[in-house]
A and B are shown apart, each in its own frame.
Chain A
Amino acid sequence: MSEEYDNNKSYQAQSSEVMDGSTGSVNPDIDYVRPSEVGEQELYHPHSFIEKWVFCQDAKVIGVQYFLTAVFTGVVGLILSWLMRLQLGFPELAGFMTAEHYYQFVTMHGMIMVVYFLTALFLGGFGNYLIPLMVGARDMVFPYVNMLSFWMFFVAVAVLMASFFVPGGPTGAGWTLYPPQTILEGTPGAGMGILLMLISLSLFVIGFTMGGLNYMITILQARTRGMTLMRMPLTVWGIFTATVLAMLAFPALLVSAIMMTLDKVLQTSFFMPTILKAGEVLEYGGGSPILFQHLFWFFGHPEVYIVALPAFGIVSDLISVHARKNIFGYRMMVWAIVGIGALSFFVWAHHMYVSGMNPWFGFFFATTTLIIAVPTAMKVYNWILTLWRGNIRINVVMLWCLGFIVTFVNGGITGIFLGNVSVDVPLSDTYFVIAHFHMVMGIAPLMVIMGAVYHWFPLVAGKMLDEGLGKWHFWITFLGAYSIYFPMHYLGFIGVPRRYFEMYDSPYMTSAVGMNEFISIAAFIVGAAQFILIFNIIKTLKTGKKAEQNPWKANSLEWYTSTVPPEHGNFGERLPVVHRWPYDFSVPGAKEDYIPQTTAPSEVIHTEVEKT
């Protein structure tokens, strides 16, 4: 935004600009946009089926590939969660499941959902599809590297899935992979399982770096004329900041994976102290298990925001479009995203208050953690203030957004419990933690993903998803997920610890049995409800209503492509030129209740649009 914006000046037609009221021609200077300094990117168009759909360099196809692969892993993660809930709610029906199985399912569920599902879906899926379209580029800046990024991810998923079939099965170390148990007998999958997990994670990081460089440089270097940083949709801001976080955080995961692999294979002792096992002292000594935790959470906490920030960005755009109102406090939203991203590197040890690290760290990390609550709360206020005095369409997309606000605020507030060091002491390692992080980084981002799918499906497929089915999908998912995780906090209050295969008969925990059964039933239903979406997609692709161009009457560039769905190169002959931010909804004086980003000021001369 330029400096005029600070003064809140309205950009109204000056009488001097209107040469003649009857012709309506105006001073052409107000439409001026700096010419491009570099020529256009040359695209490599596919010549065969394989180049078009398999080894494809078009970011949109790569986005869909990422999306589908991530959804596949998500379905695996979902099935694993069913098996866990079967054991917890109805152990008599889960006779086939040993404690080994249970811990393997817990571990794989966690790792899949956090890394291979959510991260890949938001950045690889939505990032690839939306970034070039939203910033007005023909493609990512390094299309070939982008293609490699997906295939590296694909191999990482294949290696991960292969670990289900090796002797000993996949690792059952918990998704945090805390040493020393991770690589010792006594933990399931301590042989091949953990090695494949570490290899898969390393491949993921390598592949992700290739993609991440693309997202960052495309956003910084390939924006179309007039698309200033402060005119970018918040979706792009969210994905951009998350990518920067990922570039800085994933190396910590990579080095810890490499060191752990060395500890496992070559008996080095990065993380391994002197250990007595089955009466024998092992060939380790001097390593620090807590060092691993610091490295892991130096990655792991920004990882939370790598998932959350794209969700924040996307939901801002969805709310604004469907409330027909500009996003409230755009600049505050941008700085909140950037600020949360920066702060997220200073809070990692709040996962370790009771880890045995120097307890004096607690003061520092509790303070930084609670500071993050402020920009996060500002975002929440701005979402609901965007609804305020809006003109809200209560459609499926908006329902998912409202569901997001409820679950995110709920999960954010339980975060204040856990971040506040001494409050964390009784609650850490209990079901309260599980309830908290599922609400805030499981369900809330999932609500955004679903909203985004319903919102952008007409663009990707050219057809409108069925609203009726969508409403069933939403209500079952929202009400079901809320009734899984809201009561679960109270199990944590009782003190029920995480990662327990069964509770036996602890006297004060017998009352938890009834709740566990209830939660399990809800989990089965919510999981099954996701197949409504798959059915809806298949049905829509076959017989669905054809979507008109820009069915939601949005302003951002992805809806103004030459064809729907957009073809390779996105924008036809000429790239669009941007004259405004994407949030000019319901501008007084305008004929329609939206003004696309490509609309020149001279075309809307009689409106009271604020200059952006």
Chain B
Amino acid sequence: MHAGIIFLLVIIGSILFHIFTPWYWTDIASNWKGMDDTITLTFWVGGGVFVAVCLFMIYCVFRYQHKEDRRAEYKPEDKKLEKILTWATTLGVAALLAPGLIIWNQYVNVPKNAIEVDVMAWQWGWQYRLPGKDGKLGTTQVRNIADNNPFGINPDDPFGKDDIMVESDVINLENNRPVKILLRSVDVLHNWYVPQFRAKMDAVPGTVTFYWFEPNKVGEYEVLCAEYCGVGHYAMRGGVEVQDKADYEAWLGEQETFEQLSARYEKLNVDGNKLAKK
């Protein structure tokens, strides 16, 4: 069979695959629809170029197949054509870059009303901390981490006392309220990733990183670790539950603050000491 026909079938097959694929995005559940749209735009422009280049190549293969009595054209350069192609490509690339940068600008500028969520990662699991009534998270240090202080909050920091501890791998979020995810790790790199939210960022030990999104669909989602973190990487799952305001506040009310947790441990200690004395 002629090689050109097989190449042509490959291109047609690729297009058909894209049209009929059952494998595609999960339903988006955050504000980052702009990312999806830029992907779609890039897909049409890029896909168009791919198909055009391949079809031109296939045309040449058919049209200019070797014949003993024919000579190829001898024309080392065509400055005008090269100039047109350079500028057309530059314009096309700029048209794709612009929306990408605009959305990145939104991605790195967190809205003022975003609620902060401290996501702490370790090998291999997650836990979460929310600011208390003062709206501020207390400062932390890895060296402070202990049974009675799972997040390593500085005991002297007044902002830390009312921080809400979520010692679970599932975090609840309020629907339609922007969230600023603050990422920390106590050991190696991790990445808190929910495919439906589209956004992600690495958690890096020794520093605090962030990103934000606004969940807009009530439901339960699976959290995946997206940065390789050792042998348990694939099993490092967590969860998110997006709730309406009322449900969310009810859940929030049930959580323990740092102060309460410390008191509980102190009592445990006192009780333990009493027990020991007896």
Residues of A164-197 at the interface with B, using a CB-CB cut-off of 8 Å, are 172-174, 178-181, 184, 186-188
Evaluate contact between A374 and B72: CB separation under 8 angstroms: no
Q: How far does the alpha carbon of A286 sit from the alpha carbon of B183 in the complex, in Å? A: 18
Flag the segment in B59-67, B156-164, B172-180 that touches A.
Answer: B59-67
Nearest CB to that of B225 among chain A residues? A497
Partner of A100, one of B34, B70, B231: B231
B residues with a Cβ closer than 8 A to A are 2-3, 6-7, 10-11, 14, 17, 21-26, 32, 34-36, 38-39, 42-43, 46-47, 49-50, 53-54, 56-57, 60-61, 64-67, 70-78, 81-82, 85-86, 89-90, 93-94, 96-97, 100-101, 103-105, 107-108, 122-123, 142-143, 145, 183, 186-189, 191, 193, 195-196, 198-207, 209, 222, 224-235, 237
Residue pair A323, B224 in contact (C-beta under 8 Å): no
**CB-based contact B64/A390 at 8 Å:** yes
Residues of B within 8 A of A511 (CB): 22-23
Distance in angstroms between the alpha carbons of A331 and B78 in the assembled complex: 11
With both beta carbons as reference points, the residue of chain A lying nearest to B102 in the complex is identified as A422
Interface Cβ pair total, 8 Å cutoff: 328
Q: Is the CB of B191 within 8 A of A354?
A: yes
A residues whose Cβ falls under 8 Å from a Cβ of B:
8, 99-100, 103, 172-174, 178-181, 184, 186-188, 273-277, 281, 286-290, 323-326, 328-332, 354-356, 359-360, 362-363, 366-367, 370-371, 373-374, 377-378, 380-381, 384-385, 387-394, 399, 402, 405-406, 409-410, 413-414, 416-417, 420-423, 425-430, 475, 479, 482, 486-487, 490-491, 493-495, 497-504, 506-508, 511-512, 515, 583, 585-588, 593, 608, 610, 612
Tell me the bound Cα distance from A501 to B14 in angstroms. 28
Q: With A178-B189, A416-B46, A429-B191 in contact, do A394 and B23 touch (Cβ < 8 Å)? A: no
Q: Which residues of B contact A360 (CB under 8 A)?
A: 108
CA distance A261 to B61 in the complex (A): 53
B187 CB contacts on chain A under 8 angstroms: 180-181, 184, 186, 275-277
A409 with B72: in contact, given A274-B206, A363-B101 (CB under 8 Å)? no
Contacts of A487 in B (CB 8 A): 17, 21, 23
Nearest chain B residue, comparing its CB with the CB of A107: B228
Do B57 and A422 have beta carbons less than 8 Å apart?
A: no
A585 contacts B72, C-beta separation under 8 Å: yes
Query: Complex Cα distance A562/B2, Å?
Result: 38
Contact A390 B23 (CB under 8 A): no
Is there an interface contact between B64 and A388, defined as CB atoms closer than 8 Å? Answer: yes
Whether B74 contacts A587 by the Cβ 8 Å rule is yes
Contact partners of B2 in chain A: CB under 8 A: 394
Report yes or no: B206 in contact with A389, Cβ–Cβ below 8 A: no
From the candidates A274, A363, A585, name the one contacting B205 in the complex (CB within 8 A): A274
Contact B93 A373 (CB under 8 A): yes
Across the interface, do B23 and A421 meet the contact criterion of CB distance under 8 Å?
no
CB distance from B4 to the nearest CB of A (A): 8
**In contact, A181 and B200 (Cβ under 8 angstroms):** no
Minimum CB distance partner of A411 in chain B = B50
B100 touches A422 (CB 8 A): yes
Q: Least Cβ distance of B126 to chain A in Å?
A: 15
Q: Check A172/B231 contact, CB under 8 A, given A274-B206, A399-B3, A422-B34.
A: yes
Across the two chains, which residue of chain B brings its CB closest to A388? Answer: B60
Can you list 22 A-B contacts with CB-CB less than 8 angstroms, sorted by A residue number?
A99-B231, A178-B227, A178-B228, A287-B206, A288-B207, A324-B66, A326-B76, A328-B75, A329-B77, A356-B202, A362-B104, A363-B105, A367-B97, A367-B101, A374-B86, A384-B53, A385-B78, A402-B7, A429-B191, A486-B17, A506-B222, A511-B23
B72 with A323: CB separation less than 8 A: yes
